[in-house]
């Protein structure tokens, strides 16, 4: 599990955000593309703003400096060519690390398999993250939280997300009315011990079905990017 600390600097103002992710090789973290929207817009418009992303691996309590933690900067953000802020099914991004992660008992890359079992309604999954834990305020989790989720039937998913091509995404919900929330974006969804999805979004109250980007739908793109792990040298 990876914690993303995102700091955006814009016109003498500073804002921070957090996301989740998953280490899939010693050089790459997989997360949601919308986690870096501020930096993406800066690159495209040349406005005076920039974002700094630091990946923290091996953490449990993100508010403490645990000996297990590895903090690594990001040298490149890579999104699929189909990605658009209006197309949730391609909300996926690879972060190329400035240096290799060191595998150990706390940090272990989990490379996505080339295919996995088809998900059916009511299949049990789990999601993890350091996102918002109280819907009445913006209090974020200090310790890593895990939650069981069940796969939602396509008709219920389409009703919850009428503007999304839900056939290319994954929908899941928690039967105890708990859910992933703000700050959990990009975190992994595991089903049957497979990495199936990444936290994408849902309603602001963090209730009902949640949307997840389908990892297997992007496996060819992922494999292609992983072949070039070196950071580009600055000119």
Angle at 109 between CA 103 and CA 112, to 5 degrees: 165
Q: Is 10 in the same domain as 102?
A: yes
Cα 155 to Cα 157: distance, rounded to the nearest angstrom = 5
What pLDDT score was predicted for residue 87?
66
Handedness of CA 206, 210, 25, 231 (dihedral sign): negative
CATH number for the domain harbouring residue 139: 2.40.10.10
> Do 98 and 130 belong together in one domain?
no
Tell me: do 105 and 136 sit in the same domain. Answer: no
Q: Note whether residue 44 is domain-resident.
A: yes
> Domain for residue 75, yes or no?
yes
Q: Kindly state whether residue 22 falls inside one of the protein's structural domains.
A: yes
SS (H, E, C) the chain: CEEEEEEEEECCEEEEEEEEEEECCCCEEEECHHHHHHHHHHHHHCCCEEEEEEEEECCCECCCCCCCCEEEEEEEEECCCCCECCEHHHCCEEEEECCCCCCCCCCCCCCCCCCCCCCCCCCEEEEEECCECCCCCCCECCECEEEEEEECCHHHHHHHCCCCCHHHEEEEECCCCCCCCCCCCCCEEEECCEEEEEEEECCCCCCCCEEEEECHHHHHHHHHHHCCCCCCCCC
Residues 99 and 11 occupy one common structural domain: yes
pTM: 0.89
The stretch 220-227 carries a mean pLDDT of 95
Neighbour tally for 210: CB within 10 Å:
29
Separation CA 36–CA 49 (nearest Å):
12
pLDDT digits (tens, 9 = 90+) for 9-54: 777 777 788 999 999 999 999 999 988 875 444 444 445 556 789 9
Residue 154 has pLDDT above 70, yes or no: yes
Same domain for 87 and 10, yes or no, is yes
Known catalytic residue at 138 = no
Say what the pLDDT of residue 45 is.
47
CA 51 to chain centre: 17
- Domain of 211 in residue numbering reads as 124-216
Residue corresponding to tokens 């918002």: 132
Q: Which residues are 171's β-sheet partners?
A: 211
Q: What is the pLDDT of residue 104?
A: 97
What does the pLDDT average to over 178-192?
89
- Residue 18 is predicted with a pLDDT of 93
pLDDT at 135: 67
34 is catalytic: yes
Q: Would you state the pLDDT for residue 220?
A: 94
Residues 100-124 have a mean pLDDT of 91
**How high does pLDDT run on average in the chain?**
87
102 and 137 belong to one structural domain:
no
Residue 113 has pLDDT above 90, yes or no: no
Overall average pLDDT of the 56-60 stretch: 97
| 185 belongs to the catalytic site | yes
The pLDDT of residue 66: 96
Q: Would you say residue 235 lies in a domain?
A: no
Question: In the numeric block, which tokens belong to residue 2?
Answer: 């990876």
Catalytic residue among 25, 51, 88, 91: 91
Residue with the larger pLDDT of the pair 178 and 126: 126
What tokens were used for 90? 């391609």
Residue 139, domain member (yes or no): yes
The per-residue pLDDT for 40 is 43
Give the pLDDT confidence score for residue 42 in this predicted structure. 40
Answer whether residue 116 is part of any domain: no
The reply to whether 28 and 67 lie within a common domain is: yes
Say if 8 falls within a structural domain: yes
Specify the pLDDT at position 50.
66
Q: Choose the catalytic residue: 180, 185, 196, 218.
A: 185
**Least confident span in 32-46, 119-133, 146-160, 200-214:** 32-46
Q: Higher pLDDT residue, 68 or 48?
A: 68
Based on the fold, state whether residues 164 and 89 are members of the same structural domain.
no
Q: Range with the lowest mean pLDDT among 33-37, 61-65, 104-108?
A: 33-37
- Catalytic residue (one of 34, 90, 196, 218): 34
**Domain total of the chain:** 2
- Confidence class of residue 167 from pLDDT cuts 50, 70 and 90? confident
Banded pLDDT at 187 (limits 50, 70, 90): very high
Cα dihedral: 217, 102, 40, 220 (round 10): -20
Domain presence at residue 69: yes
Residue 213: predicted pLDDT: 94
């Amino acid at each position: 599990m990876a914690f993303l600390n995102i700091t955006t600097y814009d016109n003498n103002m500073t804002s921070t955000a957090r996301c989740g992710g998953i280490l899939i090789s010693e050089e790459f973290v997989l997360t949601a593309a919308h986690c870096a929207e501020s930096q993406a817009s800066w690159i495209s418009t040349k406005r005076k703003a920039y974002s700094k992303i630091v990946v923290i691996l091996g953490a449990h309590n993100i508010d403490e400096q645990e000996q297990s933690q590895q903090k690594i900067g990001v040298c490149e953000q890579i999104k699929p060519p189909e990605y658009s802020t209006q197309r949730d099914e391609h909300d996926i991004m690879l972060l190329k690390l400035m240096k290799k992660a060191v595998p150990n008992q706390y940090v272990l890359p989990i490379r996505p398999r080339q295919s996995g079992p088809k998900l059916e309604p009511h299949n049990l999954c789990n999601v993890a993250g350091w996102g918002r834990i109280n819907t009445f305020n913006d209090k974020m989790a200090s310790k890593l939280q895990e939650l069981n989720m069940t796969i939602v039937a396509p008709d219920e998913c389409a009703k919850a997300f009428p503007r999304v091509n839900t056939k290319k995404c994954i929908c899941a919900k928690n039967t105890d009315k708990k859910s992933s929330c703000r700050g959990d974006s990009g975190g992994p969804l595991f089903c049957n011990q497979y990495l199936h999805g990444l936290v994408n979004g849902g309603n602001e109250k963090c209730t009902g079905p949640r949307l997840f980007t389908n990892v297997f739908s992007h496996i060819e793109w992922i494999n292609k990017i992983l072949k070039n792990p070196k950071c580009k040298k600055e000119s």
